[in-house]
Structure 1
Amino acid sequence: MLTFAAGPSKVYDVLPQYLADAYAQGILSANHRSSVFMNLYQETERLMREKLHVPEDYQLLFTSSATENWEIISQSIVESASFHIFSGSFGKKWIEFAKYILPGTDGIKIQPTQVIDVPGLEIDEKFDLIAITQNETSNASQVKMEYLEAIREKFPEKLIAVDTTSSMAGIELKFELADIWYASVQKCFGLPAGLGLLILGPKAKEQTQQKGERGRYNSLNFILENAASYQTHYTPNVLGIYLLKRVLQDIPEIQHTDQNLRERMVKLENCIAQSSSLRLLVDHELSRSTTVLGVTGPEELISRVKKEAEKEGMQLGSGYGPLKPTSFRIANFPAITDAEIDRLITFLSKY
């Protein structure tokens, strides 16, 4: 079954070879304090710089999942409180978790069809970090880089943390526009779930040291101390890191992936725009995701389209939360081939 679910999504077709190589090379038994692992960590970070254009002064850290990073950021980085800008379920979950740790946390919700009104945005001095869900998987909306740039220019004294769970490795991110970036690998990296990525800039590391939070297994100072020698604070998903390294070795530089995904998304959007019964979930082009397409329609039709797709060997991602009955989501992730996207478009053109 070919899956277009928004994550976990399709893995790269070459994954069986990566797994066989990992077994043959002894990666499955590698000790995480060994030179084998430290070299693996160092090479993976180097490849993140080469292929995704992560700046030299930003550091790659490994966690268990993207959602673990919600806790780490509030626990170890934020001094007073964070201010969240979000449009959907995952951004809402982030602010709710942050409030458990720092009750002064607050934010604003914008509609998926809106862009951030940066000139009208007011954020109190008590908030030392701005949290932004760049690509909201639940409703297929996104915050484009130009809005991040405007926020950075307006609030240069505040740290910025960005959730790119369903866009990192799919679109070109301008890492210098924020201090904290995080993701997980089961979406645009085309890998099985079970590995989170946390990327910190110099200002975020400085504030972490200043706050000095310690005492938990995932205290960021403890993570950074281990990362200084390319080790981790806990027994990590060594296989996941090895698979990430192999993917990074084989993929093109991010600007080429970015261009291809944008071209494919235009084809998908045009297909839905020409439909007599299906509509784009996000009708505002400037807030529509490049990596996840939301499609909406009458409940009976959405159910029928999903069932008929399965009969043809394709799984469409369900809508999320209250959108589940009247929408489905299509992943436009790099592991999905152009031919597979074309096959889906042919199928959807019937509606």
Structure 2
Amino acid sequence: MITFYPGPSKIYKQVKDFLNEAFDSGILSMNHRSSGFMELYRDCAQLIRNKLLLPEDYFVYFVSSATECWEIIAQSFIKEQSFHLYNGAFGEKWLDTNRKLGLKTIGYRFNINEVVHAEMLKDGLVCDLIALTQNETSNGTQIRNDQLSEIRSSFPEKLIAVDATSSMGGVYLDFSIADIWYASVQKCFGLPSGLALLICSPKAVTKGLELGHNKHYNSFVNLHENMLKYQTTHTPNILDIVLLKKVLECVPPIGNINQRIKMQSDEWYNFLRGFQSVKPLVTENQLRSDTVITVKGDPSFIKNIKEQSLKAGITLGNGYGTWKSDTFRIANFPAIEEQEIRQLKTFLKNTLR
């Protein structure tokens, strides 16, 4: 079965060998306070900096999931209020999480074909933190680096937190224009689920330590104190950290990956122009995600396509949230191979009209 599901998605084929290597090395039986684990943490964090072009003074923390990052950010970096700019299900869930935790929140929902600009955040002047979803997995939209840069320039004193769950590791992100970034590894990193990266700027670290919110086990204060020793607060997913290190050692720098993913996404959108029965959900080219291609059509037709694809040995991503019934999604992640893309395109040519 070939999978184009946008997370958990296809795992790099080399992971099979990496699993055996990890087992034979003995690292999986080491505790997370051991010198062996601390060396693994240090080496993996440096690879993340090198391969993703992360500023050297940014810090990397290992946690369990992107959704856990919602709670860590809410409980550690916000004194009074957060401002959430969103256009889809995951951005909205982030906002709802903060509300359930008792925080004051302001939300601004924009249209999926609307360009993000700083004026949308005018009501966020009183907030502590601005929350953005760079790549909205539910609908296949993205906020480009230049748009994030405009927000950074307009609100230089605010903490800016960015959900990059379905883009980090697949496209170039300018980490310097935001303070907190996070992503799970089961998407563009091509790994099993159960691990997420939380990345913080020096500004975010200072703010988190100044607030000193430390009543939660995975509070940022605890995360940071342990990170300085290359340790984690909890017993982490050591296997996934080992696999992340091995994958990062093999993949090219993010600039090369970005070039390939961008080329493939352009080819996907051009390919879809040839059909009348379906079209990209997002009509504005500059707002279309490069890593999650969302395709819209009549609900009954979309249902049939997904059923036929399974019979052909291909898993497409279901629609999500508002677009659950009338879309399917195609992951354009680095672990997916060219011949698999060709196979899906052949299937779609024979199925669409």
TM (norm. structure 2) is: 0.97
Question: 1:335 — aligned with what?
Answer: 335
1:115 is aligned with what amino acid?
V
Contact 1:271–1:349, Cα closer than 8 Å, also in 2: no
Corresponding residue for residue 31 of structure 1: 31
Indicate the residue corresponding to 2:103 in structure 1: 103
Q: Find the counterpart in structure 2 of residue 160 from structure 1.
A: 160
Aligned-partner SS, 1:106 = strand
1:56 equivalent in structure 2: 56
- What is the match of residue 224 of structure 2? 224
Alignment of 1:1-351 (within 5 A): 1-119=1-119, 121-350=121-350, 351=352
| C-alpha RMSD over aligned residues | 1.1
Deviations 1:181-235 (A, max 9, x none): 0000000000010001100000000001110111221111011001101001111
Q: CA deviation at 1:139?
A: 0.6
| Distance in 1, Cα, partners of 2:204 & 2:52 | 20
What is the DSSP-based 3-state SS (H/G/I as helix, E as strand, rest coil) of the residue aligned with 1:336?
Answer: coil
C-alpha distance in structure 1 between counterparts of 2:324 and 2:312, whole Å: 21
Deviation of 1:301 (Å): 1.2
Q: Any stretches of 5+ residues in structure 2 without a counterpart?
A: none
What percentage of aligned pairs have identical amino acids? 47
* Aligned residue type for 2:300: E
CA contact (8 A) 2:108 2:120 kept: no
Distance 1:326 1:125, change over 3 A: closer
Gaps of 5+ in 1: none
Q: TM (normalized to structure 1)?
A: 0.98
Q: Is the 8 A contact 1:28 1:238 kept in 2?
A: yes
How far residue 30 of structure 1 moved from its aligned partner, in angstroms, is 1.4
Shift of 1:340: 1.1
Structure 1 counterpart of 2:118, one-letter code: V
* Cα separation, 1, equivalents of 2:177 and 2:78: 18
Please give the alpha-carbon distance, in whole angstroms, between the structure 2 residues aligned to 1:72 and 1:120: 25
Please say if residues 273 and 279 of structure 1, whose CA atoms lie closer than 8 Å, have aligned partners that are also in contact: yes
Secondary structure of 1:296 counterpart: strand
Q: Distance in 1 between matches of 2:19 and 2:222?
A: 31
Runs of 4+ deviating beyond 4 Å: none
Q: Kindly state the Cα deviation for residue 118 of structure 1 after the two structures are TM-superposed.
A: 2.2
Q: What is the total number of aligned residue pairs between the two structures? A: 351
**Secondary structure of 2:198's aligned partner:** strand
Q: CA deviation at 1:102?
A: 4.3
